[in-house]
């Protein structure tokens, strides 16, 4: 089980980025959450098997939303994350 935290910036709000990220996570059986930040970026917490997480990272890095564009991408391994049973869009 791999547990990661991603912080992405660019054109990632107002373009369906969170919803497309959730669809992708659901397809790959990844748990976690995606949340808009006040500075216009997005934070993603994700847990899943190594291969699924690798695909997820690659697709998020290139934007799961056709209208989105990721210009800054930070990835951190975070073993402190819980084992999520589903993937949620967090509204703040």
- Domain limits, the chain: 2-81
Q: How many CB atoms lie within 10 A of CB 68?
A: 22
Strands (E), the chain: 2-11, 31-36, 42-48, 69-77, 87-90
Mean pLDDT score of the chain: 97
Confidence of residue 92 (pLDDT cuts 50, 70, 90): confident
Which one from 11, 18, 29, 69 is the annotated catalytic residue? 18
* Domain 2-81 listed as CATH 3.30.70.270: no
Residue found by looking up tokens 């819980």 in the block: 82
pTM exceeding the 0.95 threshold for the entire prediction? yes
- pLDDT for 49-69, tens place per residue? 999 999 999 999 999 999 999
72 flagged as catalytic: no
- pLDDT for 29-41, tens place per residue? 999 999 999 999 9
2 flagged as catalytic: no
Backbone dihedral angles phi then psi of residue 58, each to the nearest 5 degrees: -60, -45
Contact yes or no for 42/60 (Cβ under 8 A): no
Which one from 2, 29, 36, 72 is the annotated catalytic residue? 36
């Amino acid at each position: 089980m791999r547990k990661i935290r991603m912080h992405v910036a660019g054109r990632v709000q107002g373009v369906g980025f969170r919803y497309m990220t959730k669809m992708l996570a659901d397809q790959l059986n990844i748990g976690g959450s995606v949340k808009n930040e006040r500075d216009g970026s997005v934070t993603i917490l994700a847990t899943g098997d190594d291969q699924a997480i690798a695909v997820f990272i690659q697709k998020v890095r290139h934007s799961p939303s056709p209208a989105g564009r990721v210009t800054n991408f930070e990835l951190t391994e975070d073993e402190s994350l819980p084992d999520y049973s589903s993937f949620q869009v967090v509204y703040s």
